[in-house]
């Protein structure tokens, strides 16, 4: 720990080398401030987080990976992350596609400030930016401008659960500024012709996702269920969508099981981590 915040040490096996674009480092950005830490994200890229706030998580990682997989043959030139929070999905995709230009929309000023500092630390300010605003505002960005739109919306209706006491976390869990329906509408607005929308949602809400997609003029053409541990039910699902009527076969992918019954990472999850620049 330094006098301001915590700089997390790398946990890497001997001989492992980080792939992907190099970061710029702390020049002009500094390290973590009081109550913050600086953690590894992908390769040598890092992310600033509040110790008592919202932290990047499994749904961010799998959503970014699934998006990268769906666009593997034709990498996105332009990416939009809806409700980007502290910028995890935004930066994972920018790391994975070094030539892409990416924009994140986020309504919480604290999260915007953290995301912008992380982008600067990673040396990506020339091709990544974070816009302060509400994703339901159609005037934030030009329409039909992005090859890939991504989102990790909250899953819970206000009033259905006790609001988290930690800073930043309320809008990350509760649909204070909209849920999957609003994300689908925003994706349809900003997705370019032939573009893709990749979004995660609680596994139990399949019918809600399908209805939200249809109402926004989108169609689901890919789905991945994510199982936290072998023998458990799926925790969340990640969906790929296109505009309704655009060509593309529908595919339900085999479930991704994160850990086996003994709690070890599965081979499939280890492979995912490798693709996203993470050590075994």
Range of the domain at 231: 57-275
Question: What's the whole-model pTM score?
Answer: 0.92
Q: Work out the angle between the directed axes of helices 58-70 and 267-275 (0-180°, nearest 10).
A: 70
| DSSP H or E run through 106 | strand 101-106
Q: Is residue 232 part of a domain?
A: yes
Calpha distance 213→234 (Å, rounded): 21
The proportion of the chain whose per-residue pLDDT surpasses 70, expressed as a percent, equals: 91
Question: What CATH number is given to the structural domain containing 211?
Answer: 3.40.50.150
Helix, strand and coil in the chain, % to nearest 5: 25, 30, 45
| DSSP H or E run through 191 | strand 191-202
C-alpha distances in Å from residue 113, one per residue of 47, 78, 84, 130, 252: 12, 22, 12, 9, 37
Average pLDDT of the segment spanning 198-216: 97
pLDDT tens digits for 43-84? 999 999 999 999 999 999 999 999 999 998 889 999 999 999
Q: Is residue 17 part of a domain?
A: no
Q: Is residue 203 part of a domain?
A: yes
pLDDT of residue 164: 56
Structural domains in the chain (count): 1
Q: Is residue 212 part of a domain?
A: yes
């Amino acid at each position: 720990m330094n006098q301001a915040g915590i700089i997390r040490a790398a946990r890497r096996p001997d001989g492992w080398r980080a792939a992907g674009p190099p970061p710029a480092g702390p020049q002009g950005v500094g390290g973590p401030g009081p109550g913050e830490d600086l953690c590894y994200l992908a390769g040598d890229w890092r992310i600033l987080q509040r110790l008592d706030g919202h932290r990047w998580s499994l749904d961010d990682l799998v959503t970014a990976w699934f998006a990268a997989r769906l666009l593997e043959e034709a990498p996105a030139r332009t990416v939009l992350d809806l409700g980007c929070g502290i910028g995890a999905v935004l930066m994972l995709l920018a790391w994975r596609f070094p030539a892409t230009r990416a924009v994140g929309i986020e309504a919480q000023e604290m999260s915007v400030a953290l995301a912008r500092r992380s982008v600067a630390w990673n040396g990506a300010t020339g091709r990544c930016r974070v816009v302060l605003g509400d994703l339901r505002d159609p005037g934030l960005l030009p329409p039909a401008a992005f090859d890939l739109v991504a989102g990790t919306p909250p899953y819970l209706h206000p009033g259905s659960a006790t609001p988290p006491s930690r800073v930043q976390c309320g809008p990350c869990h509760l649909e204070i500024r909209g849920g999957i329906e609003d994300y689908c509408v925003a994706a349809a607005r900003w997705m370019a012709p032939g573009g893709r929308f990749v979004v995660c949602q609680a596994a139990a809400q399949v019918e809600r996702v399908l209805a939200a997609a249809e109402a926004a003029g989108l169609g689901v053409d890919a789905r991945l269920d994510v199982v936290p541990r072998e023998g458990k039910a799926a925790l969340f699902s990640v969906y790929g969508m296109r505009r309704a009527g655009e060509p593309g076969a529908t595919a339900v992918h085999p479930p991704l099981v994160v850990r086996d019954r003994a709690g070890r990472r599965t081979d499939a999850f280890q492979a995912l981590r490798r693709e996203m620049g993470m050590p075994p």
